[in-house]
Structure 1
Amino acid sequence: MSGTEVTVRVPAKVNVQLAVGAARADGFHDLANVFLAVGLYDEITVTPADELRVTCAGPDAHQVPLDTTNLAARAALALAERHGIEPRVHIHIDKDIPVAGGMAGGSADGAGALLACDALWSLGSSEAELLAICAELGSDVPFSLLGGAALGVGRGERLTPLDVGGTFHWVFAVADGGLSTPAVYAEFDRLTSGTDVPPPTADPALLTALRTGDPTALAPTLTNDLQPAALSLRPSLATTLTTGTSAGALAALVSGSGPTTAFLTKDEESAATVADALLTSGNCRTARVTSSPAAGARVVSDSVAETR
């Protein structure tokens, strides 16, 4: 199939609720993680090659590893191993999701590469088969494949799709530099040491607000148990959160493990106002306006199918 290629578009996510339990014996934490896919995307293009190779272009591409620690490369290796084939593929990542920003950009690339390689190699894997590989790759990878909205439990990899009754408008303030997810969880463990950490559960009021599509009802239910840890490691994020809410955001929180901060607004016009205030403040590197929910990983170009 020389000369053929497949391109997959895959979204970023925001955690509208991230409830974190105490550390387990295996070092992971039980979660009640309500994911919402948002309209910021990476595009993953795969083409046949003599050997596995990863390239990347776009904002902060220099921060993206190009070896087998990259989740896109790991996805290709896992899929190839399962089917007994050689992972001879060039994976190119057009990066638009913030790097190390708490929006699952790396996980998105893993899910996108998995779906793209499956199409390139004409494997025809079921969604269940792909989700099983995603769960092996990382806690957020299954949702990147699924998209929309979902409740993740366990490490966040066991998903139940959720209904969303409308469009929610967001601003994401991208900070300089990233935050390590393991470092944020370690800080969470330090901050909660000696306390009774309750088992994580999804908030029924939040699930209802998603189902009805009401941003005013959703706003007071947004929570992130990792936020105190992220603010402890990056205190300047508190100023960014205040800037956005002062400019009219209905609610603000650190996205996942940060340092990207997320602002829910009542409509598109309000989102533009909040974004302008954040940019003017100088408290963030850039501010991105988008909406949710967004579709999960999808093939957007497939010249393999065209040449069969």
Structure 2
Amino acid sequence: MTPLAETARAKVNLTLRVLGRRPDGYHELESVVAFAGAADSLTLEPGPEAQLTVTGPRAAECGDVGDNLVFRAARALGEKIQGLRAGHFTLDKHLPAAAGIGGGSADAAAALRLLAASNNIAFDDVRLLDVARATGADIPVCVGSRACIMTGVGETLTPLNLPPLPCVLVNPRVPVPTREVFAELGLKPGQLRTGLSEVLEAIAWPAADASVEAWLDVLAGGTNDLEAPAIRIQPVIEDVLAALRATDGVRFARMSGSGATCFAIFNSHAEAVQAAEAIRAQHPDWWVEASILS
């Protein structure tokens, strides 16, 4: 059979507020999420057992294949659905690991989409969504890979009509473990973040037919509450943000997720490409990609 193929697009948190920490230890979030053209690719050759081969320039960053999220998601779906036909996955890895752009989660979500297609399972099948939630907090949003507002611990998704936004993604090639960033934030179970009385007020997001400028105005006023603790762990993140903010045509720059990847939004794709080239020339050891968020 011809292998099935999926694209695992990078997830970018345009905004990220940490509202508090629940008694069970999980953090309550509110985030505007979009997806970039920068991506890994995943193929599946259907077969009786789940297998995984990792290739590509970032393959060495993936660690033990047996612990890869692709393999874990496939195994979990097989336990949930009796008689599921799996097969041989080949992951072409281009996105940096532990980078705040959901690379592993996007890979796992692509695996679930491939298994769904191979086994005639709907993408909104409750069993597939249950496995996505159980395998990783960012996997549910990556299954759809559409712009949305993500709340709770990542399980509640509200679609957004976000216009295409030219961007540059930059990672300084240093990993930032998510667990360490949340620990640095310092919230105890059951604790709300102080000074967030506005949490109870709904943010007025632009209407479906709003202009790009209207979206940029709202997004530029946002924040990423994990940016400061991530910078304390990896100060180079501040250097990345400074490099992005120094480019021509930049509208705003921010860290994505728990870092260390940062992004900047530009007026045009041409300006984004020029900015990426300039940063790449100054910092050849950084991962730099011009892309479009949607």
- TM-score, normalized by the shorter chain, greater than 0.5: yes
* Contact 2:20 2:187 survives alignment (8 Å): no
- The corresponding residue for 1:55 is 53
Aligned ranges 1:16-165 → 2 under 5 Å? 16-49=14-47, 51-85=49-83, 88-120=86-118, 122-129=119-126, 130-164=128-162
CA–CA distance in 1 between the matches of 2:210 and 2:221? Answer: 13
Alpha-carbon displacement from aligned partner over 1:234-279 (angstroms, at most 9, x marks no partner): 1121122112111132111111111111011111122123212322
- The corresponding residue for 2:293 is 292
| RMSD across aligned positions (CA) | 2.6
* Contact 2:36 2:292 survives alignment (8 Å): yes
| Structure 1: gaps spanning 5 or more residues | 294-308
Counterpart check, 1:250 vs 2:251: yes
Counterpart check, 1:217 vs 2:217: yes
* Contact 1:219 1:250 survives alignment (8 Å): no
* Contact 2:42 2:110 survives alignment (8 Å): yes
Q: 1:287 to 1:52 in 2, by over 3 A?
A: same
Alpha-carbon displacement from aligned partner over 1:28-72 (angstroms, at most 9, x marks no partner): 100111111111122111123464322111122111134342211
Matched pairs, number: 288
Distance apart, 1:132 and its partner CA:
3.0
Q: Which secondary structure state, in structure 1, belongs to the residue aligned with residue 65 of structure 2? A: coil
CA–CA distance in 2 between the matches of 1:4 and 1:274? Answer: 40
* Contact 1:30 1:153 survives alignment (8 Å): yes
- The corresponding residue for 1:177 is 174
Instruction: Normalising by structure 2, report the TM-score.
Output: 0.88
CA–CA distance in 2 between the matches of 1:217 and 1:135? Answer: 32
Distance apart, 1:286 and its partner CA:
2.6
Of residues 103-112 and 135-144 in structure 1, the stretch that sits farther from structure 2 once superposed is 135-144
Counterpart check, 1:12 vs 2:10: yes
Distance apart, 1:10 and its partner CA:
2.5
- The corresponding residue for 1:265 is 266
Q: Which secondary structure state, in structure 1, belongs to the residue aligned with residue 17 of structure 2? A: strand
CA–CA distance in 1 between the matches of 2:200 and 2:56? Answer: 37
CA–CA distance in 2 between the matches of 1:292 and 1:239? Answer: 23
| Structure 2: gaps spanning 5 or more residues | none
- The corresponding residue for 1:301 is none
Distance apart, 1:283 and its partner CA:
7.8
- 1:188 partner amino acid: L
* Contact 1:12 1:104 survives alignment (8 Å): yes
- 2:265 partner amino acid: L
Distance apart, 1:222 and its partner CA:
3.5
Q: 1:228 to 1:203 in 2, by over 3 A?
A: farther
Q: 1:46 to 1:195 in 2, by over 3 A?
A: closer
- The corresponding residue for 2:283 is 282
Instruction: Normalising by structure 1, report the TM-score.
Output: 0.84
- 2:167 partner amino acid: W
